[in-house]
Structure 1
Amino acid sequence: MSHPPTGGIAPMAAPAPEAPAATAYTSAPPTLSGPPAPPGAPHAAWREALDRLRAAAVTEPGRLRAIGALLAALLVVFGALTAWQVADRSDAAEAVVERSQPLSADAADIYRSLADADTTVASGFLADGPEPRHIRKRYDQDIALASKLLVKAAANSGGSPTARARIDQLNRVLPIYTGLVESARANERQGLPLGGAYLRYANDTMRERLLPAASELYEAQSGQLQADYDDAKAWPWVALGVGALALGALVWAQRRNYRRTNRVFNLGLLAATAATAAVVLWLVVGHSVARAGLSKSDQHAARSLRALSAARIAVLQARGDENLTLVARGAVVVEKGPDRGKDAYEVGYNDRMQALIGASALDSASTSGPDASSSETAVATRDSLLGRADALADNDGGRGPVAEAIDEAWEWQRRHGEARKTDDQGDYEQALAKVTGGKGSTGESFDRVDDALARAIGHEQGEFKRAADDGRGLLNALPIGAAVLAVLGAVGTVLGVGRRLSEYR
């Protein structure tokens, strides 16, 4: 049996396992991240940007960039505010000329047309025989004009609830009135006494329902006119304040530049200052001139128009009362007050004439003889309608027709006193001739007063148009001009600051 050798060669030991080699990293080892940022915290990029801005702000170039950006933004804001506020006032001035004043005039014409229709139809009843064709034609024209103007007012009255309500009331009641007039005419043609009763009922409808509604419509449109005047004349204080701030900031920036560089002028900032000063000056002067023109159109035209319209309406109402005095022949009396028992229409006539020329003038005119000198008697008290219209007229073109109306009102009152005396003596036919006849009648005086006031209104309407157009003219181009100059000022600021920054490169 053989055995393995046991001699001196020891058996080979098993190799020991190798230790793992160190891992080589190609990038930095990851770091542990902190807890997530709370909601709403600024992002790290924003924090970094803010840190850079803070660092830049402590350097002169950074400060210059911030100053330039703020100045440019301020000038743009100034231009935008100026354009907005001036455009708003320009729109209000446009509304005064193109909408509010014409609508106010239309409302006055609605009232006048209705009052004239009522006066005219009463004149037709006083005519001897059938109603004259020219009287019927005038009545039809008055009703047609009132209807046409009501349609126009309804389309342009805007959002005024009062105006819309009064227009609706007029449209509903006007057919009732015209129906009563036609019933009165039909009965009159047949010789029935109901004709006069229907006419008085129609007159009551006119005075108690139509004319009050027309008066409220006129007041509503006049109120809108005054509101547009106030908006158009209001000073643009916000734009002026920002403009003054922009000028102050530009002056401060140039002074700062001078103190740091000893350079007197920076052309960019100088151009921005000139553009801003031009806008401010244009704004102040332009608005002042526009305001003066609008104020003139209001004080010397619009107010005069209101006084003349009120006087013309009083004339028409006085004529209607005068006619109805003869139509009713004492059938309608005052039931209460100091005039109780007196003829209601005669009392109404006296009230209208007192408002027209004044109480003291009315008494003088009633007692003046036919040979009284107009230079001695033809005056109206200052608180009367014609007196106010005369005081508001600012040139001969306006004063002449008003003075003529005052003369004729005196003559009308004198002739009316003679007619009433004749009627009181029982001579109705002669009194009727003194009221409705031709030359020498109160009807002739009424026509002359009405014609003079119509000419005065036409003159003042032209004065209003010219003054208002002059007032709004300078406002039309200012919004665009202000915006352009403000942008140019902002560009000048950026260029001026950029020129200064280039010196640091």
Structure 2
Amino acid sequence: MTKPAPTDGVVTDHWLDEVTSPSQPLFDRATHRAMAWFAGPARLVRQAYGFVATTPGKLTALTLVLTVAIGAAGLSMANFSSVRHERLDVLLNSTEPMNSAAHKLYTSLSLADTVATTGFVQVGLESADSRARYHAALDRATVAATESVLGTDSQDREIRELVVYIQRQLPVYAGMVETARANHREDNAVAVNYMSNASALMREEILPAAAELFRLTGIKVEQQQNELTSPQWVPISGFLAALALLLAAQWWLWRLSRRRFNRGFLAATALLVIALAWVVTANVLTWTAGSQRFESTAAPWEQLTNAQIAAQQARTTETLMLVSRQASLESTGGVGFEQMLSQLHQALDAYEDAEYLERSQRFAVYTARAAADNWSTAHHALVADLSAGRYDRAVAHTTGMSQSGKPLGAVSAAESFNKVDHSLTELIADTRDVMRSFIQDGVRANRALGGGVGALTVLAIICVCLGIRPRLQEYL
């Protein structure tokens, strides 16, 4: 039997199908290339899944999960502590001094008006001491106005506008006072109008702007204080989650190895408990010092400031009674004297009732109360003399000097006011020192928190690795 001859040089086999290229291939070239690219990673994923399905793989995955959880909690705490520490420094060194400068501006402007008006009715020419006090008050106000904007940013537009307005009006006021003094030395009656207008400018325009500036800077301090004393919920929740995972891992490891305790995991748990207790304690101390104590001290500070301003304005309008020869504070545009005394005693009561203020200032409180009583006596004598037309005696009760230049002998309104003002200045300074100490307590509570907690979390991760190592060696 002869074999069939080849056709066109190609050997054919009738028992085999001829291989031909498909007219429509199942995958195009791009698909084949993509499958080639992902074949390696897919194989690695399958191998990793196969490894994780084994007991050594589960132990390794557990170690990685615990490491990530503990490390994330520690890193979060370190970041939050660093940010809080920086913002507490800003509050202590920028925002609070800005509020203090606004307070100094407010009280210095009021005192300058009081001294200028009082010197206007003194017997003879104004004393050098009175002029020095007036210029010193203006200098303090000028410096404080500049310091009030040092800690501002683009969001404090209203604060900057108030400072610009005060700085613009202050030379106008000083010019009117100097004009009044010049006319007073020449015995020109127009001096009274200049002095009254200058005092009205201060009391009706400049001081309200300074009061608003003091209020806005106080709000800024309060807002930052509340933000910085709120609990750090994110790091605390991170530590709680890491601690829960660690406890669950110990339970699973006990079920796996039938060993109830793992020394490495127990050490890591103890370290996390210490870190969590440290974080919670620091948050409680910061909240207590910065929120509760600060707020309880800020209220007397604000009341004492308002009482001092009211006393200075009452002294100013009391002096204007002599200038205008009218026997009531209300007729000169001032607050009532009895209203001022009530406000003063309420502020002193608030200071004495404050829990965290120094008791060493009780003498200043006693001095202020006694001086206020003497001032009230001198004021009523002044009103009685003005009502009866005894102008010379009224001047003597106000300034403490008779027309002949001799001391009055009795306690004058000037002497009593100076004691009240000096005592309030001491109490306000003491209150501010206490408030700053509370902010510093918050800074100290957060100073070593980030680094200490970070070190504890690193040690906890090392303990987890050391604790899982013997279990892994059992399968190697």
Same fold, TM exceeding 0.5?
yes
Cα distance in 2, alignment partners of residues 499 and 21 from structure 1: 68
Counterpart for residue 307 of structure 2 = 311
- The match for 2:18 is none
Residue in structure 2 matching 1:452, options 423, 427, 435: 423
For residues 112 and 236 of structure 1, the distance between their equivalents in structure 2, rounded to whole angstroms, comes to 38
Of residues 154, 158, 165, the one that matches 1:162 is: 158
Q: Give the conservation status (yes or no) of the 8 Å contact 1:318–1:353.
A: no
- Asked if structure 2 preserves the Cα contact closer than 8 Å seen for 1:104 and 1:225, the reply is yes
Indicate if the aligned counterparts of 1:297 and 1:467 stay in contact, CA closer than 8 A: yes
Change (3 A) 1:451 1:494: same
For structure 2, list consecutive stretches of 5 or more residues without a partner in the other structure: 1-5, 13-20, 402-409
Preserved contact between residue 121 and residue 139 of structure 1 (Cα < 8 Å): yes
Alignment root-mean-square deviation, CA:
2.9
User: What secondary structure does 2:448 align onto?
Assistant: helix
Q: Secondary structure at the match of 2:260?
A: coil
Q: Please tell me the residue identity of whatever aligns with 1:60.
A: T
Change (3 A) 1:245 1:479: same
Separation (CA, whole Å) in 2 of partners of 1:418 and 1:39: 107
Q: Measured at CA, do residues 99 and 267 of structure 1 come closer, stay the same or move farther in structure 2, by a change above 3 Å?
A: same
Q: What TM-score do the two structures reach when normalised by structure 2?
A: 0.86
CA distance in 1, matches of 2:267, 2:103: 53
Pairs within 5 Å for 1:195-210: 195-210=191-206
- In the alignment, which of 247, 256, 261 is matched to residue 251 of structure 1? 247
Aligned to 1:391, which of 342, 350, 353? 353
Mapped partners of 2:364, 2:8: distance in 1: 129
Alpha-carbon offset, residue 441 of structure 1: 0.8
Shift in Å, 1:195: 1.3
Q: Take 2:27 and 2:197, find their aligned partners in 1: how far apart are those partners?
A: 96
Amino acid at match of 1:48: R
CA contact (8 A) 2:314 2:329 kept: no
* Aligned equivalents of 2:324, 2:32: Cα separation in 1: 94
Choose from 139, 146, 158 the match for 1:151: 146
Cross-structure match for 1:94: 89
Report the Cα distance in structure 2 between the residues aligned to 1:132 and 1:313, rounded to whole angstroms: 24
- 2:3 is matched with which residue? none
Partner of residue 357 from structure 1, selected from 327, 333, 342: 342
Counterpart residue identity of residue 113, structure 1: S
Superimposed CA distance per residue, residues 227-253 of structure 1 (whole angstroms, 9 cap, x where no aligned partner) = 122122101111111111110100111
Deviation at 1:313, TM superposition (A): 1.2
Corresponding residue SS for 1:348: coil
Contact 2:325 2:386 in 1 (8 A): no
Structure 1's 472 and 296: CA in aligned 2 closer, same or farther, altered over 3 A? farther
- Matching residue within 163, 170, 173 for 1:177: 173
Aligned amino acid, residue 62 of structure 2 = I
Q: Measure, in 2, the Cα distance between the counterparts of 1:98 and 1:40.
A: 61
Per the TM alignment, residue 190 of structure 1 is displaced from its structure 2 partner at its CA by 1.8
Contact 2:311 2:340 in 1 (8 A): no
For residues 214 and 466 of structure 1, the distance between their equivalents in structure 2, rounded to whole angstroms, comes to: 26
Kept in 2, the 8 Å contact 1:71–1:246? The answer is: yes
* Secondary structure class of the residue paired with 1:155: coil
Give the structure 2 partner of residue 114 of structure 1.
109
**What amino acid does structure 1 have at the position aligned with 2:381?**
E
2:272 paired residue number? 276
- Identify if the C-alpha distance between structure 1 residues 100 and 40 changes in structure 2 by more than 3 Å, giving closer, same or farther: farther
Conserved? CA contact 2:98–2:150, under 8 Å: no
Alignment of 1:465-476 (within 5 A): 465-476=436-447
The aligned amino acid for 1:426 is: G
| Conservation of the 8 A alpha-carbon contact between 1:357 and 1:387 | no
Deviation at 1:355, TM superposition (A): 4.0
Give CA deviations for 1:70-110 in whole Å, capped at 9, x if unaligned: 11111111012212223333334334433333222221111
Shift of residue 265, structure 1, vs aligned partner: 3.2
**Aligned partners of 2:94 and 2:150 also within 8 Å:** no
Q: In structure 2, give the amino acid aligned to 1:430.
A: R
Shifted more, 123-132 versus 386-395: the winner is 386-395
Does the 8 Å CA contact 1:297/1:465 hold for their aligned counterparts?
no
Q: Is 1:79–2:103 an aligned residue pair?
A: no
Distance (whole Å) between structure 2 residues aligned to residue 95 and residue 307 of structure 1:
25
TM-superposed deviation, 1:347: 6.0
Give the secondary-structure state (helix, strand or coil) at the position aligned to 1:216: helix
Matched residue type, 1:308: L
**2:213 corresponds to 1:217:** yes
The one-letter amino acid paired with 1:446 is F
- Cα pair distance change 1:113/1:40, threshold 3 Å: farther
Conservation of the 8 A alpha-carbon contact between 2:374 and 2:411:
no
Question: Shift of residue 17 of structure 1?
Answer: 13
- Greater shift in the superposed pair: 438-447 or 45-54: 45-54
Aligned match of 1:129: 124
**Structure 1 counterpart SS, 2:124:** coil
Distance 1:72 1:431, change over 3 A: same
Give the 3-state SS of the residue equivalent to 1:83 in structure 2: helix
Within a 5 Å distance, the mapping from 1:42-53 to structure 2 comes to 43-53=38-48
CA offsets, 1:174-218, max 9 Å, x none? Answer: 111111112212222222122111111111211222111111111
**Match in the other structure for 2:433:** 462
Q: Give, in whole Å, the separation in 1 of the partners of 2:458 and 2:190.
A: 78
Q: Report deviation, 1:138.
A: 0.5
2:393 alignment partner, one of 405, 417, 430:
430
Deviation, 1:451, is 1.4
Change (3 A) 1:398 1:464: farther
Cα distance change, pair 389–347 in 1 and its aligned pair in 2 (3 A): farther
Report the AA paired with residue 34 of structure 1.
Answer: F
Name the amino acid aligned to 2:86. D
Q: What corresponds to 1:235 in structure 2?
A: 231
User: Counterpart of 2:88 in 1: which secondary structure?
Assistant: helix
Distance in 1 separating the partners of 2:38 and 2:194: 88
Note the 1:393-432 alignment, pairs <5 A. 394-432=357-395
Structure 1: state its 5+ residue gaps. 1-15, 23-29, 334-341, 359-378
2:381 and 2:333 map into 1 onto residues whose CA distance is 16
Segment of structure 1 superposing worse, 308-317 or 133-142: 308-317
Larger radius of gyration: 1
Contact in 2 for aligned 1:122/1:320 (Cα 8 Å):
yes
1:371 matched residue in structure 2 = none
Q: In 2, Cα distance between the equivalents of 1:39 and 1:319?
A: 94
Instruction: Name the CA shift for 1:17/1:80 in 2 (closer, same or farther; >3 Å).
Output: closer
SS in 1 for 2:187: coil
Mapped to 1, the partners of 2:233 and 2:41 lie a distance apart of 39
Shift of 1:18: 13
Tell me if structure 1 keeps the 8 A contact 2:95–2:151. Answer: no
Q: TM-score, normalised by structure 1?
A: 0.82
Q: 1:43 to 1:199 in 2, by over 3 A?
A: farther
Tell me the SS of whatever aligns to 2:146.
helix
Q: In structure 2, what is the Cα distance between the partners aligned to 1:37 and 1:218? A: 72
Letter in 2 for 1:186: A
Q: Which whole-Å deviations, capped at 9, do the CAs of 1:114-146 have from their partners, x for residues lacking one? A: 000001100111012221111110010001011
2:334 corresponds in structure 1 to: 348
